[in-house]
Amino acid sequence: MENSITSGIFMNENLRDNEDSCIICYNTISEKDICKTDCNHIYCSDCINTWFDRGNIFCPMCRQNIRRYIKDNEIIRVIKINNNQLNNNIEGDTDNENTGDYLLIQRSNIKYIQLYFFVNIIYVIYTQYYQYKMKEELENLYLNCSF
């Protein structure tokens, strides 16, 4: 029994020492597919992309939030947009670590709202002007009526 426990520990230590293997699939990673997270854990691009596609933004190994990772000497920023978090930020929740990301979205939504109100104000002014002109024209027709 002791031999199986020691061999399991020995095998896990070998996997930890090998920085070219993915923690999830344990396959050797090619140089262009290595993804290194903020917490310095290494994954293959297929595994980390699958992890993100499932809606996770934390490290599978240590559960620390992943804000960015390095792949092929390029920094890739991770942003998860979630309606609940967006609503919390609009209500004034500033304790969220990703507040800056969501505030950018909120500001862009404000620009659309401003455009919507501007178009509506122009429409209201136009309809008021049109009604005024129609009233004027009807009054002229009434005054010039020959009955």
Which residues sit opposite 76 in a β-bridge?
69
Name the pTM for this structure.
0.44
- Please tell me which residue, 103 or 115, carries the higher pLDDT value: 115
Question: Given a cut of 50, is residue 78 above it in pLDDT?
Answer: yes
pLDDT of residue 131: 93
pLDDT of residue 82: 61
Q: pLDDT digits over 22-76, tens only?
A: 988 999 998 888 999 989 899 998 998 888 888 788 898 999 988 888 888 888 8
Averaged over 110-130, what is the pLDDT? 91
| Burial degree of 48 (CB within 10 A; 0-12, 13-18, 19+) | buried
Q: What is the pLDDT of residue 88?
A: 52
Do residues 98 and 84 make contact, with C-beta atoms less than 8 angstroms apart?
Answer: no
Task: Say which CATH class 1-78 falls into.
Answer: alpha beta
Kindly report the backbone phi and psi dihedral angles of residue 139, in degrees, each rounded to the nearest multiple of 5, phi listed first: -65, -40
Ordered by start, the domain boundaries in the chain are 1-78, 81-147
